Structure 1
Amino acid sequence: MRTGVAAALAAVLPLALAGCGDIEGSRGGGGGTLTVFAAASLTETFTSLGKAFEAAHPGVRVRFNFGGSSTLARQIAEGAPADVFAAADTATMAKVAGGGAVEAGQARVFARNRLVIALPRDGSAAVRGLRDLARPGLKVVVCAAQVPCGAAAGKALAAAGVRLRPASEEQDVKAVLTKVRLGEADAGLVYRTDARSAAGEVRGVEFPESARAVNDYPIAALDKAPRRDLAAGFVRLVRSEQGRSALVQAGFEAP
């Protein structure tokens, strides 16, 4: 089923294909595969941008590895072949840069994101804020603390003075969202963009403490990228007006 986000992106991305200077200016010779490691919360937007990039670069295939930013950073440190890394927080990107995979100063913040409480659309739990998540008997899932969405959840809960005992701690935000979608949890802390991507199945509840835990998303071409020309082009697309429009349509905030 096509989500509202996908429909919005479908309206935005043709601009990138109709003589878009940002994509045209990033053309690389020949074909090949561009490998992009990206935070799970970027799945829908980057998948659509990847299709636009492929259309502007005949013979090029964009292959994505989506997951928790900390897991992706570890894979890069262990030598996994990648051309581009987009993380859900600057701390994770700093670790990758500190390991020598990204040249100092090359990473650029391209979007911001904040948390909401995700509830099953047909659920009966009356949750209006973070304090409600601490009610006895409520099954709540969050991201693990080492994952950016988990670190953000910790900050928000601390700001609200809420001590939470989650039913589970997941390795990326999509795993949290899935448990809420399937009714395996009464509530979960996910990014606003994730709740929007599943609007037909979950509803997102905003809470004021999310302002204390906004995540900046940086992107960079990796120093040892097998396709540096294509990597630089994809980074330009993400940071272009077309990329920003797609991200905002998906619920991200401009940096």
Structure 2
Amino acid sequence: MLKKLILVLCLGAAAGAAWVALKPAKPSSPPLTVFCAAGIKKPVEEIAAAYQKETGIEVRLQYGGTGTLLSQLKLTKQGDLFIAADDGALADAKKQEVTREEFRLVKQKPVLAVAKGNPKHIDGLASLKDPGIKVALANPEAASIGRVVKKLLGADWDALAAKAAVMKPTVTEIAADLSLGAVDAAIVWDSIVPQFKLDIAPLPELAKHEEHATAAVLSYSQQPAEALRFARYLTAPEKGAAVFAKHGFTAVPGDKWAARPDLIIYSGGVNRTAIEKLLQQFATREGITMTTVFNGCGILCASMKTMGDTSNPKFPDVYYACDVCFVPPVAKEFPEAILLTEAEIVIAVPKGNPKGIHTLADLARPGLRVGLCNAEQSTIGFLTHSMLKSMNLLESVSKNASSQVPTADFLVNQMRTGSLDAAVVYRININNDKEHFDAVSLPADKSKAVQPFAVRRDSPYQQMGRRLLAFLRENRASFETAGFAWKGETAPVKSADIVLPDWLKQK
């Protein structure tokens, strides 16, 4: 019996061991391929190594001149990220639909580099033109620094190029020539100077110019969420930005690092039909979670006030209100806004308008069951209340208000059940139910609600909030299909500068 028991246990153990051995290995994420301007090779290598150690994701780096890399990308259409050394090359890539989301990494200035101590006493263009001075330049067809300097110097570039001792495809190659004594001067990025232990000589023609080295997600990346995650790591103040600063670069810090950040969005209920699916798409592409709260803007503002200040971790990063009138209450936290869309306010009536309602004054008729939104809880309630008050109709219409709810969707549902004869709602609320409802227009100067989009001034995810705005702007059709009028190409407005008409000012 004991032998049988031992045999059973052994067979069980063997079976268990065999089962463990046969379990499929956990699939690993494919490596990220990054095409990187040669001038920022050292910090990017260090950041990539740290990222791989922290996340287990391999980062494969390919270096070259920005122009050379861009030409390669246009041909191969492969890879995940492109790190360009200047703004012009990045603009070209965007125009040619090679790239999508952009992350500024560092600021760079073109400078005249010389050997330590400037032994040849080089002090400007005149010195560079001296026949005894050997100058190294970067090829403008291959390297960003060459392209930028050629544009800045104009005709002087042609003279320098004609006498250049060497012209090479990357900025690091000409800096290396200078550090080895093969040439006397080279025009490079200021960030290159400390890497090669060089000095800077005056060259006023370049002094005021500044460019950015920027990482951009390639439009044909097969793993955009991973590409975006590494891009966020590159710019995070405590991650990539710190490494760039350590190497002598002027870093442009991005968002706080989190492998899977949670972006908190407060949105007025009227926006839901247009943005709900877009928010899901954005979250999937970015590889983030998203906490979205849809409600009346009065409730949203009250919730923010209850939190006290933005130190509360639940305070929203983004606020997309139903109308500009609900921006002033939180202007300190959201000092700037984009007026993204516009929605019309109407009186919703059953199909055929059986009660013959044509104006707001008609809503005061005895016996009518009228639906209004709550003025303290929602934008449309506040706008309706203010409109009626300005027309001396508030008291008479309110007597018929059998329902005062936080959002217009509730009123539409009550009309579907026959509980109301009319309701003041957004046209968008009944836009897809025209077989059951008609819309009665209201005075044009008082019936337009404008929806502002704002990112919190001290959000740890400001850049992500701005990328969300860019994504929404790219999807204008979603808003117009939902019934909004598009206003999203307008310039930002300061929240403190928003001027409301007297009839709409909150007392």
Unaligned runs of 5+ in 2: 1-95, 104-216, 218-227, 230-258, 308-313, 488-507
Give the distance between the partners of 2:358 and 2:427, measured in 1 at CA: 15
Tell me the SS of whatever aligns to 1:209: coil
Q: Report the counterpart of residue 381 of structure 2 in structure 1.
A: 150
Q: CA separation in 2, counterparts of 1:44 and 1:62?
A: 17
Q: Once the two structures are superposed, what CA deviation does each residue of 1:133-179 show, in whole Å capped at 9, x if it has no partner? A: 22221100111223321232234445666441211222222222222
1:164 aligns with 2:397: yes
Which secondary structure state, in structure 2, belongs to the residue aligned with residue 245 of structure 1? helix
Distance in 2 separating the partners of 1:191 and 1:93: 19
Maintained 8 Å contact 1:155/1:213: no
Residue number among 351, 359, 364 corresponding to 1:129 in the alignment: 359
- CA RMSD in angstroms comes to 2.8
Residue 227 (1) aligns with residue 465 (2): no
- Structure 1 counterpart of 2:427: 192
Whole-angstrom CA distance in 2 between matches of 1:21 and 1:207 = 46
Find 2:333's aligned residue among 64, 88, 101.
101
Of the structure 1 ranges 71-80 and 40-49, higher mean CA displacement relative to structure 2 is found in 71-80
Aligned partners of 1:138, 1:56: CA distance in 2, in Å? 49
Q: Relative to structure 2, which stretch is displaced further, 38-47 or 124-133?
A: 124-133
Return the offset for 1:118.
1.7
The CA deviation at 1:125 is: 3.6
Residues 1:154 and 1:121: Cα distance change in structure 2 (over 3 Å): same
Give identity over the alignment, percent.
21
2:343 maps to what in 1? Answer: 113
- In 2, Cα distance between the equivalents of 1:67 and 1:196? 20
Larger of the two Rg values belongs to structure:
2
Correspondence for 2:409 = 174
Hey, what does 2:496 align to over in structure 1?
A: none
Q: Where do residues 17-56 of structure 1 align in structure 2 (5 Å cutoff)?
A: 24-25=101-102, 28-29=228-229, 30-56=259-285
TM-score by length of 2: 0.41
Shift of 1:208: 3.8
Which protein has greater RCO, CA pairs closer than 8 Å, 6+ apart? 1
How many pairs does the alignment contain? 229
CA distance in 2, matches of 1:40, 1:107: 18
**SS across alignment from 2:265:** strand
Q: Deviations over 1:118-138 (max 9, x none)?
A: 234598544333333222211
- 2:477 aligned to which of 242, 245, 249: 245
**Conserved? CA contact 1:159–1:212, under 8 Å:** no
CA distance in 1, matches of 2:322, 2:282: 21
Structure 1 pair 33–123 and aligned structure 2 pair: CA distance change class (3 A): farther
State the shift of 1:22 in Å.
9.8
In 2, are the aligned partners of 1:116 and 1:195 still within 8 Å (CA)?
A: no
Match of 1:14 in 2: none
SS at match of 1:114: strand
User: What TM-score results when the alignment is normalised by the length of structure 1?
Assistant: 0.77
Three-state SS of the structure 1 residue aligned to 2:486 is: coil
Q: What are the ranges of 5 or more consecutive residues in structure 1 without an aligned counterpart?
A: 1-18
Would you say the 8 A contact 2:348–2:440 is kept in 1?
A: no
Q: In 1, are the aligned partners of 2:339 and 2:453 still within 8 Å (CA)?
A: yes
Check the 8 A contact 2:265/2:293 in 1, yes or no: yes
What does 1:52-67 correspond to in 2, within 5 Å?
52-57=281-286, 59-67=287-295
Q: Does 1:76 align with 2:304?
A: yes
1:198 is displaced (CA, Å) by 4.3
In the aligned structure 2, how far is the partner of 1:223 from the partner of 1:71? 21
2:323 to 89, 98, 116: 89
The answer (yes or no) to whether the contact 1:116–1:204 under 8 Å persists in 2 is: no
- Closer/same/farther in 2, CA of residues 224 and 67 from structure 1, 3 Å limit: same
Cα 1:22–1:45 change in 2 (3 A) is farther
